């Protein structure tokens, strides 16, 4: 059974960089079928897609966050990471990592996230 586990700080100071990693167990991150993504949810609000990456390092970012986001992958550790720079209170949210079924070998793009990490609350405060 595939599992994703986020790890990162619960508190980050304004203007600093938020850094998270997501370790994948029970399966390989090196598959062309899947992308590996980050989604966040401010307290009491909806889901916001941050970005995603494939095993070869191709990235997709939310245009509204693109200037501050870097997502990377380390296939040797079966892990992918998120860096969000210059954080403000508006970046306070629960951060989730997720596996996304991106491409089906039949030749179509399903685009759904079938496995999620448990989520970690990050508070931006001095």
Q: What residues line the site for other proteins (CB under 8 A)? A: 37, 39, 46-49, 51-52, 60-64, 96, 100-101, 108-114, 116-119
Q: How far apart are CA 12 and CA 50, in angstroms?
A: 18
Query: Cβ 76 to other proteins, closest distance in Å?
Result: 26
Query: Cβ 46 to other proteins, closest distance in Å?
Result: 4
Report which DSSP code applies to 108: B
Query: Cβ 122 to other proteins, closest distance in Å?
Result: 15
Is 119 within 8 Å of 75 (Cβ atoms)? no
Q: Look up residue 83 and give its two tokens.
A: 């860096």
16 or 55: CB nearest other proteins: 55
């Amino acid at each position: 059974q595939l599992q994703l586990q986020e790890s990162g700080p619960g508190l980050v100071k304004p203007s600093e960089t938020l850094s998270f990693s997501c370790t994948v167990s029970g399966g390989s991150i090196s598959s062309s079928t899947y992308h590996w993504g980050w989604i966040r949810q401010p307290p009491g609000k909806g889901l916001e897609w941050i970005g995603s990456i494939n095993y070869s390092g191709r990235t997709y970012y939310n245009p509204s966050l693109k200037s501050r986001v870097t997502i990377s992958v380390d296939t040797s550790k079966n892990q992918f990471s998120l860096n969000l720079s210059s954080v403000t209170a508006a970046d306070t949210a629960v951060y989730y990592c997720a596996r996304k079924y991106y491409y089906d070998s039949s030749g179509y793009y399903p685009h759904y996230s079938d496995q999620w990490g448990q989520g970690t609350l990050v508070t931006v405060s001095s």
